[in-house]
Homo-oligomer: A and B are copies of this chain.
């Protein structure tokens, strides 16, 4: 074997003193902030008990994850999914219980059958009572495994363009499903490449030669006896991706596959035996479901990765020392360099900002859902605009934030063992799935322009956009750098900037020769306007949240710093948008910069306690750089030794290296 292990310093003992010292000077109670983030101390207790139950069970271990192949990751994910069912029965946890969110949060999506859950949800929402009664029990008991086949090789975001066909055959009372060309092949559905027995296929419905648009059909794709593909079905795995190695994203081709008439999901429409197409109920609730999915992913799939990345990078930066700040001194912690603070601390502030906006969005959607149940659909356009814009903004910001954290850890961040590469490659996907971000921003922009025009015409507009009608050109009154620590001052700047972005475009669009042409020629700026709106709302909600916080344990004060930092970093980084119309002067921008840089030094003092408050366990972070004890070098070394590259002499030695080196031996 290669190695000659020397166990020098290799027993992990205690907390690295450089990290321990960071925790002695916290200006607030970490435990109280954790409870605040969890929504109360009793939630923290429940979460910790669940995490403890999962982490103590070796079946859920992710210990060797960074060394596994795509095949091994898939097998482990299925093992976990099957074991989870058992565990839930043992522990008395249920799919609708309060525990479920903590379970999936800990698993970080590294489990199979997530699309099986989407399969079930789509049947519950789109299926008739009869269909629900038939399929949901089978799926609940895992007697079948479902998937959700919407996206095609040639069509993603634009659903109307899907090419799979379902032709009603009146003679047999069946639908005949076909993949007419290669671009129509289903591509990407999770759990489909190797696991699913059934899937919901979205296809263009044809009856008597007439096309009725895209509809969902339950199709069995594999035998329940031996799991082989059913006749006419071609199915497989789409191969390696940047992440999600554990998920068997699949492809699916259908050739004259027949399903009974009863397999078209028919809560809202139906093909009757004689071929009559009937539609009833409201499609709007369907639309609302798509909208809520975008919001539901934000917490675990988007904000959580940023929180983890901040935890890893900030703890590491308090341990890593490099170069000297003053001649003659010890090498400095890299967290003490302004450039490092400027990389990491705005990401930390953003993680908190998005945590609060996420709570706000969930409250908004819960209220909306209640209204809709009462048959009041007025808030739908606003909710749709919210879900589109915030999905796009939060995923974009968090992806960039995780990347900054990764790079800020230098070479060690680039090692998979840091945990940062997999956080990055995973959060990156969120910019693409559930609606491509540029398309989503444009939907928000369309809503904003519409509202602005309605307001100009004196019509009522939704509460979140009433600010658009309060446009009054002016100048920022700030005279001193401390003025920029006043939320009134920076909120007003954001508000003005957002108003200006929208009003300017409305003018441009109306000046265009043809409406659709004018629209395409403004899309770059429309995206910017939607971003400005979402950024403004995020700052506003952060400010309002801070105002409501209790200040007993020093929490309000430290959150106020983070809120100020988030706001001023946004102005500093997008200076052009604030200077453009003279709302801020160059001299005021210098004050913003000064205040922003001052804040970095203030928040740096609490940086480690602020990530400790996220309360991630070491196993959940799965990072050699980010553990609570800060023993980064020992852990990198111990983990590296477990790598398969160190488990055997490579065949390359015998085949290539030995003959090459032998050359010398023969001469000796």
- A664 CB–B CB distance under 8 Å: yes
Closest to A1 in B: B228
Bound-complex Cα distance A431 to B413 (A) = 12
Given contacts A143-B664, A661-B145, contact A652 B234 (CB under 8 A): no
Does A10 sit at the interface, judged by CB under 8 A? yes
Report if A645-B415 is in contact (Cβ < 8 Å); known contacts: A520-B325, A640-B239.
no
A580 contact set on B, CB distance < 8 A? 575, 579, 586, 589
- Which of A28-36, A150-158, A361-369 faces chain B? A150-158
A194 surroundings in chain B (CB, below 8 A): 2, 645, 650, 652-653
- Decide if A103 is an interface residue (CB 8 Å cutoff): no
Count A-side interface residues using an 8 Å CB cutoff.
Answer: 144
Residue A646 interfacial (CB < 8 Å): yes
User: Which residue of A5, A161, A240 has the most chain B CB atoms within 10 A of its CB atom?
Assistant: A240
Pairwise interchain contact A322-B158, C-beta atoms closer than 8 A: yes
CA A141 to CA B181, docked complex, whole Å: 55
- A429 touching B417 by the CB < 8 A rule? no
Q: Contacts A70-B644, A579-B575; is A229 near B2 (CB within 8 Å)?
A: yes
Cross-chain contact A181 with B74 (CB below 8 angstroms): no
- Quick one: which of A425, A439, A633 has the most chain B CB within 10 A? A633
A657–B195 CB distance below 8 A? yes
Contact of A234 (CB < 8 Å), options: B6, B235, B593, B663: B6
Interface string of A184-228 (1 = CB under 8 A from B): 010110000111010000000000000000000000000011010
Q: Is A25 an interface residue (CB 8 A)?
A: no
A282 on interface, CB distance cutoff 8 Å:
no
Taken together as a complex, chains A and B put the C-alpha atoms of A339 and B157 apart, in Å, by: 15
Given contacts A337-B520, A582-B586, 9 further A-B contacts (CB under 8 A): A6-B234, A8-B179, A138-B664, A237-B645, A238-B640, A241-B416, A339-B523, A342-B524, A575-B579
Jot down 13 A-B pairs with beta carbons below 8 A, ordered by A.
A6-B255, A69-B644, A70-B645, A78-B655, A81-B656, A156-B410, A239-B640, A242-B421, A337-B520, A337-B523, A413-B432, A576-B577, A582-B586
Residues B416 and A432 in contact, CB atoms below 8 Å apart: no
Q: Is residue A82 within 8 Å, beta carbon to beta carbon, of the partner chain?
A: yes
Q: Taking CB as reference atom, which chain B residue is nearest A409?
A: B432
The reply to whether the CB of A260 lies closer than 8 angstroms to some CB of chain B is no
Of all A-B residue pairs in the complex, the 3 with the closest CB atoms, nearest first, are A575-B576, A143-B664, A239-B643
Is A470 an interface position by the 8 A CB rule? no
The complex places the Cα of A428 from the Cα of B6 at a distance, in Å, of 33
A664 to B140, CA, bound (A): 12
In the complex the two chains form, is A331's CB within 8 Å of B661's CB? Answer: no
Complexed CA–CA distance, A8 and B239 (Å): 19
Cβ of A74: which chain B residues have Cβ within 8 Å of it? 645, 650, 652
Least Cβ distance of A215 to chain B in Å? 20
In the complex the two chains form, what is the Cα distance from A428 to B425 in whole Å?
13
- Kindly list chain B residues whose C-beta atoms are within 8 Å of the C-beta of A155: 322
Which chain B residues lie closer than 8 Å to A242 at the CB level?
414, 416, 421
* Inter-chain contacts of A521 with B (CB < 8 A): 338, 597
Chain B CB within 8 A of A67 CB: yes
Question: A21-45 vs B: 1/0 string, CB under 8 Å?
Answer: 0000000000000000000000000
- From 616 to 668 in chain A, residues with beta carbon under 8 angstroms from any chain B beta carbon are 633-634, 636-637, 639-646, 649-653, 655-658, 660-661, 663-665, 667
A438 contact set on B, CB distance < 8 A: 339-340, 343
A88 smallest CB distance to B (angstroms): 14
Neighbour of A633 across the interface among B78, B156, B182, CB < 8 A = B182
User: In the complex, A665→B225 CA distance in Å?
Assistant: 7
* Binary contact readout A520-537 vs B (1 if CB under 8 angstroms, 0 otherwise): 111111010000000000
Residues of B within 8 A of A655 (CB): 75, 78-79
A248 interfacial by beta-carbon distance below 8 Å: yes
Contact B410 A663, beta carbon cutoff 8 Å: no
| CB of A464 closer than 8 Å to a CB of B | no
Question: Bound state CA distance, A242 and B402, in angstroms?
Answer: 14
